[in-house]
């Protein structure tokens, strides 16, 4: 996990003001009870066996968010998910991202959040040591990480974030 940029307070508040206009839905994932989400542009089918870009469904259209993500992320942005922890401070439990996504993923963090990551060092084997790493994000960080390693987020109430992925082609 790497912090690649820190946004200024004025940019953070402009994005939050804009995100407040986006209609949010209940997250259906068992890993993220009560979290609110919205896919921007298209929504990938999480367990698609065919090209996830071709089989993606049309989602909420937002040219400003899309442009901003494309400018800020160091990879081709195919999928964008906006999340909101709400008053119940709902985050996401330990998980790996589904096969629609390439390993390099990015998050624009717009509030307070503890982000956990587990990585195995060296060559993968069932008994190789798994290192758990926690980072405390305070707002405005743009992070990249390997989304195929287990990760989780424990946000404060009312924390918003924008998550970006490249399509794996599957």
27 is a contact residue toward Fe ion (CB under 5 A): no
Q: How many other C-beta atoms are found inside a 10 Å radius of the C-beta of residue 143?
A: 19
Which residue, 8 or 30, is less far from Fe ion as judged by CB? 30
Question: Measured from the CB of residue 116, what is the shortest distance to Fe ion in angstroms?
Answer: 11
**Span interacting with Fe ion, options 22-30, 66-74, 78-86, 89-97, rule CB under 5 A:** 89-97
Question: Measured from the CB of residue 147, what is the shortest distance to Fe ion in angstroms?
Answer: 5
Name beta bridge partners: 136: 114
End-to-end CA separation in angstroms for the chain: 24
Name beta bridge partners: 12: none
Residue in 119, 151, 150 with CA at minimum distance from that of residue 137: 151
Q: Which two tokens stand for residue 41?
A: 């542009």
Which residue, 97 or 141, is less far from Fe ion as judged by CB? 97
> Measured between alpha carbons, how far is residue 148 from residues 94, 95, 151, 153 in Å?
11, 9, 8, 15
Which residue, 5 or 148, is less far from Fe ion as judged by CB? 148
Question: Measured from the CB of residue 153, what is the shortest distance to Fe ion in angstroms?
Answer: 8
Applying CB under 5 A, the site for Fe ion has a residue count of 1
Name beta bridge partners: 164: 80, 106
User: Which of 27, 62, 97, 141 is in the footprint of Fe ion by CB under 5 A?
Assistant: 97
62 is a contact residue toward Fe ion (CB under 5 A): no
Contact set with Fe ion (CB under 5 A): 97
């Amino acid at each position: 996990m790497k912090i690649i940029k820190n946004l200024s307070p004025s940019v953070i508040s402009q994005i939050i003001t804009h995100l407040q206009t986006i209609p949010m839905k209940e997250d259906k994932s068992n890993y993220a009870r009560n979290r609110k989400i919205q896919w921007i542009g298209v929504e990938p089918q999480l367990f698609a066996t065919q090209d996830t870009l071709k089989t993606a469904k049309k989602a909420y259209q937002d040219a400003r968010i899309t442009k901003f993500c494309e400018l800020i992320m160091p990879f081709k942005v195919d999928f964008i998910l906006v999340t909101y922890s709400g008053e119940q401070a709902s985050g996401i439990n330990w998980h790996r991202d589904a096969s629609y996504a390439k390993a390099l993923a990015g998050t624009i963090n717009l509030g307070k959040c503890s982000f956990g990551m587990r990585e195995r060092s060296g060559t993968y084997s069932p008994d190789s040591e798994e290192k758990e790493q926690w980072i405390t994000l305070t707002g405005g960080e743009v992070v990249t990480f390997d989304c195929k390693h287990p990760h989780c987020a424990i946000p404060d109430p009312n924390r918003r974030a924008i998550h970006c992925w490249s399509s794996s082609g599957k």
